[in-house]
Chains A and B, each alone.
Chain A
């Protein structure tokens, strides 16, 4: 490639990176400005001095501590369960031949086509019957029926060397032992990808927690955010942006920490088959 096209290539990528990152910048900066500054033409785009005041208004309007704690607990427990369930399921679907395999896998994949909105009413009825509404469990359990997580793990496990498994069997390692001691430790990239995928999807989830969580001290961050925005009068965009920034920050940090493994895991998932 000649110099000009290389230069052009950089320009394009830098522009795309800028477009991708700018809304984040806008969000963080707006949290430090006043509502008027955000709504002025053009909006103020440099860090301001209103952070403390916005934060004061914010904690007056929402229970930030509880929201973060709730979101954190729900997301972590959900991710733990998902990792266990889906790596076991993915492993079974990738490395075993058994009756009903096609049917089970086909069904799980098929559920991706059904709009989840349509299932919320029956699921909610069920949560009432189990007496689970307004609990963390009611948020976590139904969302564990997640086809994409299983797909991701299965794709990654397809490439797991069968020889390693056979060697284990010859050494007398039990089937569960194989899974816990040989498969799991060797699938770190896939698990990292799953962790990030599951954690972010729960951290950001809005509709289902909104339906099943009822008391204010159980609200997750997206619900609390939407409540801030929900009031049509006297909207304070600065406070909303600050809250948005606070809600986004943990996800950014987690992604930065795990991104190498994550990228490898997604790649492993997509490449095969």
Chain B
């Protein structure tokens, strides 16, 4: 027995040494992998057909198809291979394959809040797009997502400035003046009136707003109004600072006031619109599409204003929106860049994307289009007005590679506060300690 154990140890030692040898090639693999890409660059100026693989999902995919069709009018030799990949699939693939560029599409749609994490772990994974991006032309919060450590790893696409959708009919019944809702406290007061008076088509009392008590949305929204993120500019966690605590206290006050409708997951969120069970939805501009899609019978009954504010909060918020990144090992870097730039800075395409699919451009020169002053006939008033204003006033929140994980953890803290009645200060002190353990200083 003893002997075999010794042998086993020896074998282990040898094997570790071997794997160590393999590991030493960390920087090298990237270079050798880059070989074929460089080799094929001779095709750059060639006349031959090329095919660019594109990963995107949902409406963004449809919009990219439209862009491709228009692009091909000028560039008939460029073909596209579109694959619909949901976010989960994209991320699973990226996390295993990004280090090699192997098996990843040339152009990839990525959500703005996670892209920094990939760039941080795999700085050689995405193509540097600095030479095609004019930063002044884009909303600042999107530039924060797309530039990290001095490199432009993605090109800003749709933004998600937030506003406050409300049901004009419910407000009228309850005698609530939308313009009077300036703060979250006003919202609570109005919510009580609405619930007392209004009934859904199904006969239940109408709730003021949907909240997922297992997510950070409401807390994040209020915290961003105060101009604070989960991390400061040096990457230090700051979840128990005054702004963060204040935001969570307010979120808890709103939740505890009883005006909220619980939901869990996207399906149920949509159901709030379908069943007409809420009077308001504080959400990003892309919610316009969902409201129109899911509840066509409420045409004319929705309008929008700015988000309620918290005292001391001077900013607006952004939620969601994605960017386009390119695979650094693409065979056709020039064509990829050319297409991305075309697709995301062609004013007509940007406006068409907004009209057809609700993709709100972050490309500022497109904001002078008529649609932003005319609004959408489905809504009463100019539905876009509050969002245009919001997009110019979004806090400059530093990007962090740990934001995905940190947000998961913060969601747990929110759940404890909302559902278990935990003390805000204690919960967020514990969260801070947890972050300090994980992310150091």
Contacts and interface: CB of A to CB of B under 8 A. Distances in A.
Direct A/B contact, Cβ within 8 angstroms:
yes
Interface of A: 100, 103, 120-121, 124, 128, 133-134, 210-211, 214-216, 226-227, 230-235
Interface residues on B, range: 20 to 34
Contacts of B270: 233
Contacts of B257: none
Given A230-B88, A231-B86, A214 B93 contact: yes
A120 B96 contact: yes
Interface string B263-297: 00111001000000000000000000010010000
Interface in B69-127: 83-89, 92-93, 96-97, 100, 102-104
A235 B267 contact: yes
B96 A124 contact: yes
A121 B96 contact: yes
A41 to B, nearest CB: 11
B148 interface: no
B58 interface: yes
Contact of A232 (B8, B84, B92, B266): B266
Q: In this complex, which of A215, A226, A227 has the most chain B Cβ atoms within 10 angstroms of its Cβ?
A: A227
B89 A230 contact: yes
A210 B96 CA distance: 10
A211 B58 contact: no
B4 interface: yes
A216 B83 contact: yes
Contacts of B88: 226, 230
A207 to B, nearest CB: 9
24 contacts: A100-B4, A128-B102, A133-B97, A133-B103, A134-B103, A211-B92, A211-B93, A211-B96, A214-B93, A214-B102, A214-B103, A215-B103, A216-B83, A226-B88, A230-B86, A230-B87, A230-B89, A231-B58, A231-B84, A231-B86, A232-B265, A232-B267, A233-B270, A233-B290
A126 to B, nearest CB: 9
A214 B89 CA distance: 11
B384 interface: no
Given A133-B102, A233-B58, A210 B89 contact: yes
A27 B84 CA distance: 25
A101 to B, nearest CB: 11
Return the 9 tightest CB-CB contacts between A and B, nearest first. A230-B86, A214-B103, A232-B266, A231-B86, A124-B96, A230-B88, A211-B96, A128-B100, A216-B83
Contacts of B57: 231
Interface string B291-328: 00100000000000000000000000000000000000
B83 A226 contact: no
Contact of B85 (A134, A227, A232, A235): A227
Contacts of A128: 100, 102
Contact of A226 (B89, B100, B265): B89
A258 to B, nearest CB: 33
A63 to B, nearest CB: 11
Nearest to A134: B103
Nearest to B59: A233
Given A214-B97, A233-B266, A227 B92 contact: no
Contacts of A100: 4
Interface string B147-165: 0000000000000000000
Contacts of B290: 233
Contacts of A215: 103
A133 B96 CA distance: 11
A231 B85 CA distance: 8
A128 B100 CA distance: 8
Contacts of B89: 210, 226-227, 230
Contacts of A133: 97, 102-103
A216 B55 CA distance: 11
Given A214-B103, A235-B267, A227 B58 contact: no
B16 to A, nearest CB: 13
Given A226-B89, A227-B84, A103 B4 contact: yes
A178 to B, nearest CB: 29
Given A214-B97, A234-B293, 18 more contacts: A121-B96, A128-B100, A133-B102, A210-B89, A211-B93, A214-B103, A214-B104, A215-B103, A227-B84, A227-B89, A230-B85, A230-B86, A230-B87, A230-B88, A230-B89, A231-B86, A233-B290, A234-B58
Nearest to A232: B266
Nearest to A214: B103
A233 B290 CA distance: 9
Nearest to A126: B22
Contacts of B293: 234
A59 B100 CA distance: 33
A62 to B, nearest CB: 10
Q: In this complex, which of A134, A211, A231 has the most chain B Cβ atoms within 10 angstroms of its Cβ?
A: A231
Nearest to A129: B22
B207 to A, nearest CB: 19
A175 B103 CA distance: 45
A204 to B, nearest CB: 18
Contacts of B102: 128, 133, 214
Q: In this complex, which of A210, A211, A233 has the most chain B Cβ atoms within 10 angstroms of its Cβ?
A: A233
Nearest to B271: A39
B208 to A, nearest CB: 24
Nearest to B4: A103
Contacts of A231: 57-58, 84, 86
A50 B86 CA distance: 26
A231 B88 CA distance: 9
Contacts of A103: 4, 8
A209 to B, nearest CB: 11
Contacts of B84: 227, 231
